[in-house]
Structure 1
Amino acid sequence: MTTTTSTTTTNEYKALQAAEAAAKVSANTATSTSSSSSSSSSVTSLDSLADNYTSFLTLLTTQLQNQDPSSPMSSDTFTSELAEFAGVEQQVETNSKMDSLISLNEDSQLSTDTSLVGDTVTATSTTLPLQNSSASLSFTGTSGETVAIAVANSSGTVVKDAVVTATAGTNTWTWDGTDNSGNQLSDGGYSVSVETVDSAGTTSAVSFSVTGTITGIQKGSSDMEVELGSASIPMSDVTDVSSGSSTSSSTSSTTTGS
């Protein structure tokens, strides 16, 4: 009996460690992505092309002035190069117009998606939105399965972890926004990870989805984004939008310190 209890405790600890490590990686990745997407270049493609074109004309003029009179450069050579520059310029212009069309399409989609504000959204995302001191995620489990959940803040620090005993089918874990010490945390986006462990002590990631209430829609760097309070999730991660909340099996949990 003691051996069984010890093995169970060890496996729970392994699952928690795996979940915490994954949550930290997710938080650091999210921070890195946010930083890189906020930077922009001050030089456009057209500006660069204009600089190259000017340099080309300067070199061509110099070459013409210093060519060998007995063996002048063929006009076909620089004519074809001028044609290539013109072709590149037209391509850049086409890309610019395409960007304008995409922007107009996004504006239209933004107006349409605004009607979703107030609805409940389900998404396959590692961002857990804490809204009004409440957050929840769902996963599919088997009866008696040990599952560990870890939540990290934007700095990569694990603020909440728990071990839950799953039931067969869909399970929902709800977080009240308190950390492992019982302190209430501010609303926002937190990184979350879910891991399970088998009888041999081998851990593996568990697929899950997060749930939140849509408070706004905004343009992201590459996709429309759903705002869930101060957290945001790409529209491509959304799997379901509904005006009501769904019900599912609850899990029993044991909270442990990190």
Structure 2
Amino acid sequence: MAGIDNLGQSGLSYIDQLKSLQDKNKPDETTGKQDLKQEDFLSLLTKQLSQQDPFKPVSNDQMIAQMASFATVDGIGKMNTQFENLNASMTSNQALQASTLVGRDVLVPGAAGVKQANDGMAAMVKLPQSINNLMVRVENEAGQLVRTFDVGSKPPGDSRIEWDGNDDNGNPLPAGKYKVRASGMADGENQEFPVSTYANVNSVLLGKGDGNVLLNLAGFDSPVRLAEVLEVGKA
């Protein structure tokens, strides 16, 4: 700016004051926040005007432009605060709506699921085309094959498959984590198909301030994001 370029010795004093103010308002290393406010900009503008070269003063256009810039910065700061408040409000609303899922089954990506005691397990397999003989294999947490069965012909798209919780000899298997795999002949070769499993919702979490709503699922070690849920079972 013209006024600053022609300050001479007084300009050095102004620059030193500017640096001092900047050092004072450096972001807090612990919070990452910056405390530079609009009054600080106005203080700098006043200091600039008091030390400008009287033969080459700052023009009215420059002053207006600077003041407009300060107002814009202040407005952006307020807008960011409003967006943060809106995001927090939307997250709370999502969590309130998600609380209605507690006790219900949801479909989540992944072949690993949890079998409850005296119960079976349901899964969903996505087929690219019609399959004549869809084979289902169930493995325990150690990766051992505990059950194999043929669910017959299935059309393309999502097909629900049910496992009764028994092994190949009809003996009930204990509760725990199991993995469901599905395969069949497609395009002349045996292929594995993507599988998703159902799980029961225990509770709802707000996440870590990132706007995500998380679901604690029965038997799962870590929560699942609400956005990942593919289907919600009937109440």
Q: Pick the TM interval, shorter chain.
A: 0.5 to 0.7
The corresponding residue for 1:99 is 87
Take 1:233 and 1:80, find their aligned partners in 2: how far apart are those partners? Answer: 46
Deviates more, 1:53-62 or 1:225-234: 53-62
User: Aligned to 1:214, which of 184, 188, 201?
Assistant: 201
Relative to structure 1, the CA distance from residue 94 to residue 214 in structure 2 (aligned partners, 3 Å threshold; closer, same or farther) is closer
Relative to structure 1, the CA distance from residue 56 to residue 200 in structure 2 (aligned partners, 3 Å threshold; closer, same or farther) is farther
Instruction: Please tell me whether the aligned partners of residues 118 and 214 of structure 1 are also in contact (alpha carbons under 8 angstroms).
Output: yes
The corresponding residue for 1:132 is 116
User: Aligned to 1:229, which of 210, 218, 222?
Assistant: 218
Instruction: Please tell me whether the aligned partners of residues 110 and 218 of structure 1 are also in contact (alpha carbons under 8 angstroms).
Output: no
Take 1:150 and 1:201, find their aligned partners in 2: how far apart are those partners? Answer: 23
Shift of 1:91: 0.6
Q: Which has the larger radius of gyration?
A: 2
- Hey, which of these two has a bigger chunk of helix by percent? 1
Take 2:164 and 2:175, find their aligned partners in 1: how far apart are those partners? Answer: 13
Take 1:51 and 1:164, find their aligned partners in 2: how far apart are those partners? Answer: 68
User: Is 1:117 matched with 2:102?
Assistant: yes
Relative to structure 1, the CA distance from residue 78 to residue 123 in structure 2 (aligned partners, 3 Å threshold; closer, same or farther) is same
User: Is 1:172 matched with 2:167?
Assistant: no
User: Is 1:85 matched with 2:70?
Assistant: no
Shift of 1:128: 3.1
Take 2:212 and 2:111, find their aligned partners in 1: how far apart are those partners? Answer: 16
Gaps of 5+ in 2: 1-28, 168-172
Structure 1 letter corresponding to 2:131: T
Identity %: 14
Take 1:54 and 1:186, find their aligned partners in 2: how far apart are those partners? Answer: 65
Take 1:165 and 1:58, find their aligned partners in 2: how far apart are those partners? Answer: 79
Structure with higher RCO (Cα < 8 A, 6+ apart)? 1
Instruction: Please tell me whether the aligned partners of residues 95 and 204 of structure 2 are also in contact (alpha carbons under 8 angstroms).
Output: no
Q: Deviations over 1:154-201 (max 9, x none)?
A: xxxx835687644123452549699xxxxx99946x887655553644
Take 1:159 and 1:42, find their aligned partners in 2: how far apart are those partners? Answer: 45
Shift of 1:148: 6.8
Instruction: Please tell me whether the aligned partners of residues 123 and 195 of structure 2 are also in contact (alpha carbons under 8 angstroms).
Output: yes
Instruction: Please tell me whether the aligned partners of residues 147 and 197 of structure 1 are also in contact (alpha carbons under 8 angstroms).
Output: no
CA RMSD of superposed structures (Å):
4.5
Take 2:106 and 2:176, find their aligned partners in 1: how far apart are those partners? Answer: 18
Relative to structure 1, the CA distance from residue 143 to residue 242 in structure 2 (aligned partners, 3 Å threshold; closer, same or farther) is same
Q: Write out aligned runs for 1:120-199 (5 A).
A: 121-126=105-110, 128-132=112-116, 135-139=121-125, 142-145=131-134, 159=143, 165-169=150-154, 170=159, 172=161, 174=163, 187=176, 194=182, 196-198=184-186
Between Structure 1 and Structure 2, how many residues are aligned? Answer: 184
Take 1:73 and 1:191, find their aligned partners in 2: how far apart are those partners? Answer: 74
Q: Deviations over 1:84-110 (max 9, x none)?
A: 122112212311321342244235325
Shift of 1:59: 6.0
Take 2:151 and 2:73, find their aligned partners in 1: how far apart are those partners? Answer: 64
